[in-house]
Amino acid sequence: MKTRDIHLKLIETSDIHGNFFPYNFVTDQPTEGSLARVCALLEKMREKYGQRLIYIDNGDILQGQPTAYYYNFVDTQTEHPGAAMLNYLRCDVGNMGNHDIEAGHAVYDRWVRECHFPVLGANIIDVHTGEPYLTPYVMFEREGVRIAVLGMITPAIPMWLPETLWSGLRFEDMEECARRWIPLIREKERPDLVIGVFHAGKESVRQVDFYNEDATMDIARNVPGFDVLLIGHDHRRYCGTVTNVEGRRVWVVNPANNGVMVGDVDIHLSKLGSRVVRKKITAKLTRVGNYGVSRPFMDCFAGVYDTVEDFVSRRIGTVAETMSTEPAYFGPSAFIDFIHSMQLELTGADISFCAPLSYDAEIRAGDMHMRDMFTLYRYENMLYTMRLTGREVKAYLEYSYALWTNRMQSPADHIMLLTPIDNAGKRLGFQNFAFNFDSAAGIRYTVDVTRPQGEKLHILSMADGRPFEPDAVYRVAINSYRGNGGGELLTIGAGIPKEELASRIVDTTSKDLRYYLMEYIGRQGVVRPKSLDLWRFIPEEWTKDAIERDRRLLFGR
């Protein structure tokens, strides 16, 4: 009996975030990635591989660009393009991402129904049945090769999202889930190839004591049976191998976000009868821009494009002065204080917390349109009102500024907490995620950058001059990501146990913050953004020059 050689091609997209077209509806500019470009790549590759090509999408498709938002929350009757387009691309397998869950049951349940392929989620458990809410794994056969695909999602969703968005579900630890399913799949299905599709990042990040957010490498090393792990979530490109506990190499592939790159895996197998006698896997990341844009795709979905363009072009109001997030890292800013002001007005809270959700965003003076709302507020967070003591407010801010500012030892030091962001170490960026850099309104305070965490903040008074009391209980306006424990400013920072957070919530909005910002702007007609000027870095004889140095390093201007 002769051996038979088979060559399979595996393509992965992940974290598309509504980037369906080669055009950014927020910036009104062409964009590098998109499903339209992925489609052109798939068209070309199918000419060569035909049915030997397997295309898998790894989630986070339902949030990001206004295209997703419009069909999530405005037109909820038309087939969702997040399903229609993957169907058009002949997607073989999908996986659920945390930002898909963020859209809420009505959206992701509808999306799953409309997809003509299985959407996986082995560790998304229906609390009523104890069984997976979605298909845990799928088997299919190509050229006589039996392929198992197991899908999982990061379990840290309860740290980020209100329970109303995932009611009736719980999220199992990924490694525990893999340990249960892999022996079952190997025994029952006898696969020739096992692929893991994980909406989780590469390096283990434990969220308090509850959730291992990015368990990929732990699973690759500790749970034998996988040949390839297709991952995402952290928006960080990676392509490499790990040696597992049985001494076998496991490929780990992450194409990052927005459809700029795809995971591109070649699988060569030799079979003698039904038995695999040789298996060789190689992988790389392939840039989709080399393949152009699929004209048939653009023609097919021209109606979606036109509808969303009309939506984002709607005028909301007028902004009198240009505002950007750049100043927000160095002191009070009109951009962030505009959001603070809206949060305080909407909730009647004593104090507001808010961070710059986009690293370097700008809204120019003049008419403000719907597209600008996605620059002003990037995510579909709700707004909570929570009860915090004065002491917890201070500890929360101490933790935030420790993520954000260096402890200066001399006037020549950086004021920002920076790290190299290129291999040569010449370019610097923030060491931590800027969306966790919360400032406050409703209180007056200083931040002493020469002091360690716990001693940086000096809260002078409430904004109206009343005393700030450490033992008093304050109503605090805070977004739902933060209020559920995201960024751990409430848990590690303020020291509030995760299980206690829900009891601290006294009110929540029914719609996302972007909706209320739009209403707020509409009522004002003309927005005149200005800094509330409630806090500052000290000592100013050190910080003034340090701010200018770090501003030039970070923004080049």
pLDDT computed for residue 424 by the predictor: 63
Find where tokens 């458990």 sit.
Answer: 125
For 68-120, how does the pLDDT look when each residue is reduced to its tens digit (9 = 90+)? 999 999 999 999 999 999 999 999 999 999 999 999 999 999 999 999 999 99
Q: How many domains does the chain have?
A: 2
58's tokens: 């790894």
What is the three-class DSSP state of 166? coil
350 in the same domain as 253? no
325 in the same domain as 255? no
Name the burial class of residue 187, with classes exposed (0-12), middle (13-18) and buried (19+) by CB atoms within 10 angstroms of its CB. Answer: exposed
Per-residue confidence at 524, pLDDT binned at 50, 70, 90?
confident
pLDDT computed for residue 282 by the predictor: 97
Residue 37 has pLDDT above 90, yes or no: yes
Per-residue confidence at 298, pLDDT binned at 50, 70, 90?
very high
Residue that finishes a domain, picked among 262, 288, 309:
309
**What letter does residue 32 receive in the DSSP assignment?**
S
223 in the same domain as 333? no
CA distances from 328 to 63, 397, 450, 513, 536 (A): 25, 15, 20, 19, 11
CA distance 530 to 332: 9
CA distance 379 to 236: 19
- CATH number where 349 lies: 3.90.780.10
Residue 206 has pLDDT above 60, yes or no: no
pLDDT computed for residue 463 by the predictor: 97
419 in the same domain as 501? yes
Residue 21 has pLDDT above 80, yes or no: yes
CA distance 312 to 375: 12
325 in the same domain as 305? no
377 in the same domain as 303? no
341 in the same domain as 284? no
pLDDT computed for residue 204 by the predictor: 64
The lowest-confidence range among 4-13, 32-41, 89-98, 376-385 is 376-385
β pairing state of 315-319 and 457-462: unpaired
For 422-462, how does the pLDDT look when each residue is reduced to its tens digit (9 = 90+)? 766 678 899 999 999 999 999 999 999 999 999 999 999 99
For 403-423, how does the pLDDT look when each residue is reduced to its tens digit (9 = 90+)? 999 999 999 999 999 998 776
Q: Which of 157, 159, 151 is nearest to 199 (CA)?
A: 151
pLDDT computed for residue 389 by the predictor: 98
pLDDT computed for residue 378 by the predictor: 86
268 in the same domain as 358? no
> Average pLDDT of 32-55?
97
Per-residue confidence at 545, pLDDT binned at 50, 70, 90?
very high
pLDDT computed for residue 272 by the predictor: 86
Per-residue confidence at 358, pLDDT binned at 50, 70, 90?
confident
Cα 92 from chain centre: 24
Residue 210 has pLDDT above 70, yes or no: no
Cα 537 from chain centre: 30
Structural domain boundaries, residue 393: 317-555
434 in the same domain as 296? no
Average pLDDT along the chain: 94
Per-residue confidence at 347, pLDDT binned at 50, 70, 90?
very high
Cis amide leading into 22 (omega within 30): no
Q: Which of 459, 480, 483, 479 is nearest to 395 (CA)?
A: 459
pLDDT over 90, % of the chain = 88
CA distance 134 to 110: 13
Residue that finishes a domain, picked among 262, 287, 309:
309
540 in the same domain as 512? yes
Residue 211 has pLDDT above 60, yes or no: yes
433 in the same domain as 415? yes
532 in the same domain as 397? yes
Q: Indicate the residue type of 315.
A: R
Residue 209 has pLDDT above 60, yes or no: no
- CATH number where 195 lies: 3.60.21.10
Residue that finishes a domain, picked among 245, 274, 309:
309
DSSP secondary structure string, 463-513?
TTSPPP-TTSEEEEEEEHHHHTTGGGIIIIIT---GGGHHHHEEEE-SS-H
Per-residue confidence at 205, pLDDT binned at 50, 70, 90?
low
pLDDT over 70, % of the chain = 98
CA distance 439 to 450: 18
Residue 340 has pLDDT above 90, yes or no: yes
Q: Indicate the residue type of 5.
A: D
pLDDT computed for residue 202 by the predictor: 86
Q: What is the pTM of this model?
A: 0.90
